[in-house]
């Protein structure tokens, strides 16, 4: 199986669930990245213990405090990352952090939940891309690769099929209004980012990880986190300009309707 060759990678929400498993599998790759910036809200707290244990064994893993819903925290984190990179660019930004209100039907959802979810799931990835853009552009400029790829410069937004407008009737028994709307916005954001950042050599793609056994997905879910992340990491190396702006599935990267 081809592995992603990005030298430098940054992930959000890296302390548990899909984000933590991405870190673990990237560290185990045949040629692991030179730097993995695993960001989370509270790197000193109990929920980041596993990440801290990994960092104590892997000098290429750097923990950085970052709350995607707080723009000034994103700017502060970018300064830390830039310092570590010491003149190099950032090849791969994975916007993974997300929140979900399982009970949000049209009867129960309120403005506060809608705004909170939108702020984390859609505004967060927008700000992350804006703030890390100079480092992503640098990686693209420094690369000798032709075309767009995850090893050159890429923004991967972890989205969901629940954000697909066309597919909504198939899953509407589970309305999750705030989550769906925020992820539909994320899919649109990905398209807009692809159309804008593509010229600078940055690939922008949204990925659906499947229904995964995590705190968010619950233990009822179809996939183990290991299977989902193995799938996601096998899709990254096959991505190119033809996928730019699309929502793709975790398994073999099939295009999903937006």
**Gap between the terminal Cα atoms of the chain:** 28
183 is catalytic: yes
Q: ∠202-203-205 over CA atoms, to 5°?
A: 145
x/- string (CB under 6 A) for ligand NDP, residues 172-211? -------------------------------------x-x
Among 164, 193, 214, 244, indicate the residue that binds ligand NDP (CB under 6 A): 214
DSSP 8-state secondary structure symbol assigned to residue 243: G
Q: Which of 159, 164, 182, 244 is catalytic?
A: 159
Separation CA 198–CA 192 (nearest Å): 10
**DSSP summary character for residue 223:** B
CA distances from 168 to 3, 102, 164 (A): 33, 16, 6
Q: How far is the CB of 126 from ligand NDP (least distance, A)?
A: 13
- Listed in sequence order, the DSSP H helices in the chain are 17-27, 49-57, 71-85, 111-118, 124-142, 168-171, 177-197, 225-235
Q: Interface mask (CB under 6 A) for ligand NDP, residues 22-61, using x and -?
A: ------------------xxx----x--------------
User: Does 179 qualify as catalytic in the annotation?
Assistant: yes
- Contact between 186 and 233 (Cβ < 8 Å): no
Binding mask 154-173 vs ligand NDP (x if CB under 6 A, - otherwise)?
Answer: ----x-x-------------
Nearer to ligand NDP, 137 or 230 (CB): 230
Nearer to ligand NDP by Cβ, of 66 and 202: the residue is 66
Q: Shortest Cβ contact with ligand NDP: which residue?
A: 17
Q: How far is the CB of 62 from ligand NDP (least distance, A)?
A: 16
Q: Between residues 55 and 67, which has the closer beta carbon with respect to ligand NDP?
A: 67
Query: Tokens representing 110?
Result: 């309120």
Other beta carbons within 10 Å of 8 = 23
Residues that bind ligand NDP (CB under 6 A): 12-13, 15-19, 40-42, 47, 67-69, 96-99, 120, 158, 160, 209, 211-212, 214-217, 221
């Amino acid at each position: 199986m081809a592995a992603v060759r990005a030298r430098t990678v940054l992930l959000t929400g890296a302390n548990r669930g899909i984000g933590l498993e991405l870190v673990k599998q990237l560290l185990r790759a045949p040629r692991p990245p030179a730097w993995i910036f695993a960001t989370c809200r509270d790197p000193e707290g109990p929920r980041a213990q596993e990440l801290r244990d990994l960092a104590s064994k892997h000098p290429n893993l750097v923990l950085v405090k970052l709350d995607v819903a707080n723009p000034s925290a994103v700017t502060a984190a970018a300064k830390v990352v830039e310092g570590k990179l010491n003149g190099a660019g950032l090849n791969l930004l994975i916007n993974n952090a997300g929140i979900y209100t399982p009970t949000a039907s049209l009867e129960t959802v309120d403005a506060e939940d809608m705004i909170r979810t939108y702020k984390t799931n859609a505004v967060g990835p927008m700000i992350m891309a804006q703030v890390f853009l100079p480092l992503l552009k640098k990686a693209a400029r420094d690369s000798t690769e032709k075309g767009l790829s995850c090893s050159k410069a890429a923004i991967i937004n972890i989205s969901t099929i629940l954000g697909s407008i066309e597919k909504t009737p198939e899953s509407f028994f589970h309305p999750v209004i705030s989550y769906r709307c925020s992820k539909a916005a994320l899919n649109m954001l990905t398209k807009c980012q692809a159309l804008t950042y593509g010229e600078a050599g940055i690939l922008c793609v949204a990925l659906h990880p499947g229904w995964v056994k995590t705190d968010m997905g619950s233990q009822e879910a179809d996939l183990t986190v290991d299977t989902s992340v193995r799938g996601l990491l096998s899709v990254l190396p096959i991505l190119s300009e033809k996928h730019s702006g699309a929502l793709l599935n975790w398994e073999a990267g099939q295009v999903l309707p937006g």
